[in-house]
């Protein structure tokens, strides 16, 4: 098995792994800037703890920007960084691949879907 460092594709996927990160990125792309509560509301079933964890990881990886607005009470806005925007063509490509192969993907998911694989 290759080291993570030796496989460029695996290194790239590392930044986006997990059930929620891609959904968060698409939400940020659509809204440009979004507050935590609105983001959570749009993602419906994500817990506050998980959203916070995923946002911290994305921020730490330089994909998401976190801006604190000093008013009372303080507001926090999230947006994509330039690096975050650079991954969007790849995600759109995945989306197009999914659209072109919807039938096959749906059949495979129904037969082999394991929720733990995307967590």
Tell me the three state secondary structure of residue 29.
Answer: helix
Question: pLDDT digit string (tens) for 71-93?
Answer: 888 889 999 999 999 998 988 89
- The predicted-structure confidence for 44-62, as pLDDT tens digits, reads as follows 899 999 999 999 999 999 9
Q: What tokens appear for 77 in the block?
A: 């806005």
Give counts: helices (H), strands (E), the chain. Answer: 7, 3
Instruction: Give the pTM.
Output: 0.78
pLDDT at residue 74, as a whole number: 85
């Amino acid at each position: 098995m290759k080291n993570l460092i030796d496989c460029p594709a695996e290194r790239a996927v590392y930044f986006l792994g997990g059930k929620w990160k891609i959904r968060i990125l698409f939400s940020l792309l659509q809204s440009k800037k979004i507050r935590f509560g609105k983001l959570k509301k749009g993602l419906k079933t994500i817990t506050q703890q998980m959203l916070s964890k995923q946002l911290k990881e994305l921020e730490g990886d330089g994909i998401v920007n976190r801006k604190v607005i000093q008013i009372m009470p303080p507001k926090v806005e999230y947006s994509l960084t330039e690096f975050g925007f650079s991954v969007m063509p790849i995600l759109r490509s995945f989306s197009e691949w999914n659209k072109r192969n919807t039938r096959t993907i749906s059949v495979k998911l129904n037969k082999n879907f394991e929720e733990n694989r995307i967590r």
